[in-house]
Structure 1
Amino acid sequence: MHPPHLDLRLDGFEAADEQTEEAFWRAIQIEQTELTPLTEHHAPDGASYYVLHNRAVTWGVPGEPQLVALHLRRDPKAMTFRFDHATLPLPAMAQSWLIHRGCSPDGISLKPGMGTTPADEATRALEHRLMGDGDRFVLLHSYTDDDPDHVMTVAVLRCLDERSPSPFRVLHEDVDTESWTHTLREGGFATLAEAHRWCEDALSGEVSPLPPPQPTARSVPRPASHLPAPARRPAGRSR
């Protein structure tokens, strides 16, 4: 079965300027044949939103995030386009990034059969919350292990609410390749070192229960510049 074709709907459109053209080539076009659309939404105003899986990443730097959130903005009068994108480790984080750039939450659900299925209600609930929490956290590090015998992703985030008693969060996605399902859990840590230590242990096969994050009041929404940034793998981790 072939993966679905990525149609960026740019026939007849040109990049708005040379800088956009070069950036789009480096970020998207150079690996376009390796990008699989997990979901996409096309708004009436000419904007398009995509969550893409980049198959080429598995051959690159170990642990790099494999998902691309892409926001295309078209000018139908000038027949030009601009774009923003981010590489992120988890679908819910890519969806959150797009939602906070104007995408309808109902329009960006993953297509049936694209990716694994949530294994339990706790996973569904956490993913739903993460889709709306892009203004509360910044992504510090992530590591995606796509070894067929050990498929998991860990991500370390920092809470933007300085009053939070658990300022550092760990997200841990574990994939069951036999049932093609996944679980997602969240933990809270007082220090970045503790969060990194838990991730290093998990990636080494020593998975211990995540400490539940201490509840905190909803903070004032932050501007888009504070939304999740491209991830970096934890220091010292290699495949």
Structure 2
Amino acid sequence: MPPPELDFRLDDFEAADERAEEAFWHAIGIEQDMLTALAEYHTPDGSQSFYVLHNGAATWGIPGEPQLVALYLQRDLAGRTFRFEHAKLPLSAMAQSWLIHRGCPRDAIGLLPGMGTPSADETTRALEQRLMGDGDHFALLCSYTRDDPDDMTTVVVLRALDERSPAPFRVLHEEVDTDAGMHTLREGGFATVDEAVQWCDNRLGGEAAPLPPVRLTPRRTRPSGTVPAAPAQRPPGRSR
């Protein structure tokens, strides 16, 4: 059964200005026929819409690019204009979190029936629920999405925004079992960004060890007023 036709509910609406019109075309409109709504919610008055979209065109683009788009539409009902925000994100829970922190009710942005794969176990479900709630506690550093049917996997490197976090760098690792039609999601903690990225490189090369657990033991805090040096960042980058 084909997915329902994507409707942004923008009939008789225009972008608020030329900049918004151009930005919407480049971010959404140019690939609209390749977008599928995995989840959507519309406020009762029609002034706001929230979408989790899958971009089918991403599989032909830069290897490893995120394939999900979180889209937040804001409509001026009186002026018949709209504005939008969007983000390209690698995991559905991250896209849902992005929308929730822009006002979407948490219980209204679940994946539509038949969209995506169900969670394979309780560990996956619990981690996804936590990411939906506290996704704004982390910054996305890099990710790699591999859509090879023989190895459908996504690795994500996050940095905790709380400088006192005992696990400042996290790796999220999603694997899809195409035979079972389910997916697992796991989390690991790392002391440095280089260690996190190296784990991702190893996994993409088929050599990864199990993810180290997230250590939540207290650690020595930095003296007040000091700022940590920005880590060197490099995305995982093995070819598909």
TM-score, structure 2 length as denominator?
0.91
- Higher-Rg structure is 2
Instruction: Give, in whole Å, the separation in 1 of the partners of 2:234 and 2:97.
Output: 21
Partner of 2:44: 44
Matched, 1:11 2:6: no
- Mapping 1:1-239, distance limit 5 Å: 1-45=1-45, 46-215=47-216, 234-239=235-240
Instruction: Give, in whole Å, the separation in 2 of the partners of 1:85 and 1:162.
Output: 27
Query: What's the secondary structure of 2:135's corresponding residue?
Result: coil
Instruction: Give, in whole Å, the separation in 2 of the partners of 1:126 and 1:192.
Output: 21
Report deviation, 1:212. 1.1
AA paired with 1:63? G
Query: What's the secondary structure of 2:134's corresponding residue?
Result: coil
8 Å Cα contact 1:47/1:74 also seen in 2: yes
8 Å Cα contact 1:54/1:66 also seen in 2: yes
Query: What's the secondary structure of 1:117's corresponding residue?
Result: coil
Instruction: Give, in whole Å, the separation in 2 of the partners of 1:36 and 1:59.
Output: 16
Q: What are structure 2's unaligned runs of at least 5 residues? A: 219-232
Instruction: Give, in whole Å, the separation in 1 of the partners of 2:65 and 2:14.
Output: 30
Query: What's the secondary structure of 1:19's corresponding residue?
Result: helix
Report deviation, 1:97. 0.2
Report deviation, 1:236. 4.1
Instruction: Give, in whole Å, the separation in 1 of the partners of 2:217 and 2:169.
Output: 12
**Deviation per residue, 1:65-109 (Å, 9 max, x gap):** 000000000011000000000000000000000000000001000
Query: What's the secondary structure of 1:198's corresponding residue?
Result: helix
Query: What's the secondary structure of 1:111's corresponding residue?
Result: coil
Higher mean alpha-carbon deviation, 124-133 vs 2-11, is at 2-11
Partner of 1:224: none
- Percent of paired sites with the same residue: 69
Report which structure shows greater RCO (CA 8 Å, sep ≥6): 1
8 Å Cα contact 2:119/2:184 also seen in 1: yes
8 Å Cα contact 1:143/1:233 also seen in 2: no
**Deviation per residue, 1:189-208 (Å, 9 max, x gap):** 00011001110111111232
Q: What are structure 1's unaligned runs of at least 5 residues? A: 218-231
Report deviation, 1:215. 2.0
Report the number of matched residues.
225
